[in-house]
């Protein structure tokens, strides 16, 4: 998964570098959504208590939450969540088996974790939308094979495959959204004096206006639309694009759904993380330290 390499000595707060990571993460997110769209919605995997098997294991969350806990437990042992750009969805994870790497301290210490919001919009809005075509294709094939209840059209029984991909989508969206902290730190150190008054006298709207770059967002959405439309194509054996080809009567991914995911959820949540980070950027600092910081910004 694309990320900044914190150990190679480059400037981790270069806005161009951070934005290039965000751009590469678009590919990861689109490809994993294409994978998820192959399977039906499978709403059971998001409902607590839907699997008796889990209760027998003394696990009381949903099938997906169980997948997250198990996957993250393993990854935590490999010290994944000690990296400044990795955030787990579960808690009480095991300690790493390797000694900790000493990452440079780039971010101001904070406890911001947007994963509960990500899990909520992903399961409630994104999965139903991107799997609609797979669900319809399943309904058609089931009808062709005899009568079946409506509710079964959205359940293809691929609980393991669907949840495995859900974990991948969630981890890449989480990484993308939490990169907002690096974006924010980069913007703050570039011009602390502009931000400090709105942090001392907390003003979300003013901070939001300072971090918002409409032109960057406009270009991102255009690029995303083109990428999703390109990756949704099928290719013949000779590599020729098969324009308009459908899989099971539906194309590989709902392109507008991908754009909407960014426009309605990913960008707004990244901005929320940026603003929240700024609001805590001066926590615990003395007046002298803040004054010095403001002056540094004015003279640099």
In the complex with ligand PRE, which residue's Cβ is closer, 45 or 170? 170
Minimum gap (Å) between residue 213 Cβ and ligand PRE: 4
The answer to whether residue 275 forms part of the interface with ligand PRE (CB under 6 A) is no
The answer to whether residue 19 forms part of the interface with ligand PRE (CB under 6 A) is yes
Site string for ligand PRE, 90-129 (x = CB under 6 A): ----------------------------------------
In the complex with ligand PRE, which residue's Cβ is closer, 178 or 271? 271
Minimum gap (Å) between residue 110 Cβ and ligand PRE: 17
Question: Bridge-partner residues for 247, per DSSP?
Answer: 250
Gap between the Cα atoms of 93 and 152, Å rounded = 35
Exactly one of 127, 162, 211, 259 binds ligand PRE (CB under 6 A); which one? Answer: 211
The answer to whether residue 222 forms part of the interface with ligand PRE (CB under 6 A) is no
Instruction: Find out whether 222 and 214 touch, Cβ atoms under 8 Å.
Output: no
In the complex with ligand PRE, which residue's Cβ is closer, 131 or 172? 172
The answer to whether residue 14 forms part of the interface with ligand PRE (CB under 6 A) is no
The answer to whether residue 220 forms part of the interface with ligand PRE (CB under 6 A) is yes
Site string for ligand PRE, 179-198 (x = CB under 6 A): ----x---------------
Size of the site for ligand PRE (CB under 6 A): 13
Using the contact rule CB under 6 A, the part of the chain among 110-118, 128-136, 211-219, 289-297 near ligand PRE is 211-219
Exactly one of 267, 273, 275, 293 binds ligand PRE (CB under 6 A); which one? Answer: 267
Exactly one of 5, 55, 212, 248 binds ligand PRE (CB under 6 A); which one? Answer: 212
Point out which residues bind ligand PRE (CB under 6 A).
Answer: 19, 22, 183, 211-213, 216-217, 220, 267, 270-271, 274
């Amino acid at each position: 998964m694309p990320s900044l390499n914190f150990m190679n000595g480059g400037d981790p707060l270069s806005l161009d570098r951070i934005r290039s990571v965000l751009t590469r993460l678009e590919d990861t997110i689109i490809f994993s959504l294409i994978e998820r769209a192959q399977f039906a919605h499978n709403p059971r995997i998001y409902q607590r208590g839907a699997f008796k098997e889990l209760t027998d294991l003394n696990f009381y969350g949903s099938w997906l939450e169980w997948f997250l806990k198990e996957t993250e437990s393993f990854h935590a042992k490999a010290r994944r969540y000690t990296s400044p750009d990795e955030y787990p969805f579960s808690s009480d994870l095991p300690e790493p088996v390797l000694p900790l790497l000493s990452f440079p301290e780039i971010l101001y210490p904070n406890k911001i974790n947007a994963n509960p919001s990500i899990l909520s919009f992903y399961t409630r809005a994104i999965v139903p939308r991107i799997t609609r075509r797979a669900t319809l294709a399943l309904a058609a094939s089931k009808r062709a094979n005899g009568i079946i209840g409506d509710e079964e059209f959205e359940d293809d029984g691929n609980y393991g495959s669907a949840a495995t991909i859900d974990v991948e989508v969630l981890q890449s969206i989480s990484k993308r959204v939490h990169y907002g902290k690096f974006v924010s730190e980069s913007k703050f150190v570039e011009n602390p004096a502009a931000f400090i008054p709105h942090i001392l006298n907390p003003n979300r709207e003013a901070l939001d206006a300072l971090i918002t770059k409409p032109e960057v967002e406009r270009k991102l959405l255009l690029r995303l639309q083109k990428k999703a439309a390109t990756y949704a194509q099928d290719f013949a054996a000779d590599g020729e694009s098969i324009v308009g080809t459908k899989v099971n009567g539906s194309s590989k991914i709902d392109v507008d759904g991908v754009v909407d995911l960014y426009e309605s959820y990913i960008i707004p949540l990244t901005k929320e993380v940026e603003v929240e980070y700024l609001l805590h950027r001066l926590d615990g600092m003395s007046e002298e330290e803040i004054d010095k910081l403001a002056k540094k910004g004015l003279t640099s």
